[in-house]
Structure 1
């Protein structure tokens, strides 16, 4: 495994009050501070794993929008990789041979490289601004990202950078982005669930289900900063237009998760509001199986009758022209 270059900044998981205050007017700083703070617990928070469960999820999502053409890709970069969830599971699923993780957060790059090392995968990493990607033109066969575009101030600039570092004919795939309508109902479901859970667990009979107050306070502060780092929601058609304007061809956006989001967001919020030891293997299996069943309902039934704008997640793919025009 290749480590991040020594010139990359070090993680800063314990930002000062002055830094946090400054972050409210600087979304890129907010993203660094927030994700450096979350890096060490991010996989646990979002139930991320590197086993068959998440390998299947990553490869299914990839195939749903991009198909199986071109696999395996010789080289791939993940933009805004976080802990490496999408790229590392795609590599384990045989979609990618060699990978590069990039993120604005040094802490996330550090954890992603550690995860890759533990899995024995051929991965290097860089701290990177999506609007100025630190790789040469025509470097990668594939660029991927999961839940990253909504953190980037200038998404169209990021698309242009992605096309620059792709080889002619190379593909990009971004998934896990919130739609405008999906974000509206998901956030409200989350807020109601948080309020109900944190208030009901104040009852003496349910005291064992209440997280310590300092942890709840910390989660509330993180949620406040999350309002700074989440910059966009997307209309699928608008996202397609942005990619086309950046110079991409064969652009297509698809959506998923409607019933799965209506149930999944309350479940995830409840899990964040109670002590982790209360979330037994039985509970986690219940939550996962419920998500699987509802996702199947969304794909097999609801996607055929409901407008794509109603679904929570939007995924987009496109390619760099084989004979690239000036970008």
Structure 2
């Protein structure tokens, strides 16, 4: 589990001046926001590296590429964050060895640490997704989760993905926000945050209120998040971008409609109240409710609701040619 010695060090405590500069520089904002979030990101999004998230990652992969022979020999995760997608896919038998890249040094550091704890053969680089620092025809598989919407030039990034893939190699990206889904998710998140932070000002609910300094920091992080979230996607438009980049066998699918209507208020509420107030009962409700509504989405709503109304977009494609 190695990182390149020339990679920059994480900067988890951005100054006010750096944050102000980042409001005008999206790539600086990406680095500052994700370095800021790196050490707490897994807890914030309930990310784990056990059966629960292995099944989730495999479910996203199988939804668009489930008919492929496994495992792939070498895989790359683009915009790896803490390594959630690739590390769980590797544990689920999708790939033998891996590489992780992210614009944030803090995220690469945490992803490599997670890989080491899991005993997985993974190397890592701090890298811009528009100029991937690997040779042509290096990887059998490229994956990413919730990354394309952070990249200024998505088509250029997909060209780079196809360049580093071997002929016949596949990419799978999941967790991208749809345009309609992002609208209702953001509205629900803002409404939940406003309601929770105002109600907990009441004296008899004061112990349900996080310290003001923590709420202020969350608000600053949210301001940066608004800068780093650059795109939402109509599934058909995303398919066309991938085809324009040179991919073949392109297919987009969507998921999470009812589940997103629950998930966004739940996650926002969790960020607004002290974590010690939320015990096992809350966790059981949140996870159980998400699972139940995901089943409703999959078995019922997928057949009656247009795909662009679902929150998450997944896409796969292949590099033309075959390996000899």
Q: Does the pair score TM above 0.5?
A: yes
Task: Determine the C-alpha separation between the residues in 1 that align with 2:195 and 2:300.
Answer: 32
Task: Determine the C-alpha separation between the residues in 1 that align with 2:287 and 2:276.
Answer: 17
Task: Determine the C-alpha separation between the residues in 1 that align with 2:70 and 2:319.
Answer: 17
| SS state at 1:137 partner | coil
Q: Which residue of 2 aligns with 1:215?
A: 214
Shift of 1:17: 2.0
| SS state at 1:232 partner | coil
Q: Which residue of 1 aligns with 2:85?
A: 86
Shift of 1:68: 3.6
Task: Determine the C-alpha separation between the residues in 2 that align with 1:18 and 1:121.
Answer: 39
After the TM superposition, which residues 274-289 of structure 1 pair with which residues of structure 2 at under 5 Å, given as runs? 274-289=273-288
Shift of 1:20: 1.2
Deviates more, 1:15-24 or 1:104-113: 15-24
Instruction: Confirm or deny that 1:126 pairs with 2:122.
Output: no
After the TM superposition, which residues 130-149 of structure 1 pair with which residues of structure 2 at under 5 Å, given as runs? 130-149=129-148
Task: Determine the C-alpha separation between the residues in 1 that align with 2:52 and 2:322.
Answer: 39
Q: Which residue of 2 aligns with 1:262?
A: 261
Q: Which residue of 2 aligns with 1:174?
A: 173
Shift of 1:15: 1.5
Listed as ranges, the gaps of 5+ residues in structure 2 are none
Q: What are the Cα deviations for residues 129-173 of structure 1, in whole angstroms up to 9, with x where unaligned?
A: 000000000000000000000000000000000000000000000
Q: Which residue of 1 aligns with 2:62?
A: 63
> How many aligned positions are there?
323
TM-score, normalization by structure 1: 0.98
Q: Which residue of 2 aligns with 1:305?
A: 304
Shift of 1:323: 5.4
Q: Which residue of 2 aligns with 1:228?
A: 227
| SS state at 2:300 partner | helix
Runs of 4+ in 1 over 6 A off after TM superposition: none
Shift of 1:70: 2.5
| SS state at 1:290 partner | helix
| SS state at 1:157 partner | helix
Q: Which residue of 2 aligns with 1:162?
A: 161
**Cα RMSD (Å) of the superposition?**
0.9
Task: Determine the C-alpha separation between the residues in 1 that align with 2:92 and 2:221.
Answer: 33
Task: Determine the C-alpha separation between the residues in 1 that align with 2:164 and 2:107.
Answer: 21
Q: What are the Cα deviations for residues 223-282 of structure 1, in whole angstroms up to 9, with x where unaligned?
A: 011110000000000000000011100000000000000111000000000011112122
Q: Which residue of 2 aligns with 1:72?
A: 71
Task: Determine the C-alpha separation between the residues in 2 that align with 1:6 and 1:279.
Answer: 41
Task: Determine the C-alpha separation between the residues in 2 that align with 1:247 and 1:289.
Answer: 41
Shift of 1:313: 0.3
Q: What are the Cα deviations for residues 208-233 of structure 1, in whole angstroms up to 9, with x where unaligned?
A: 11101100000000001111000000
Q: Which residue of 2 aligns with 1:100?
A: 99
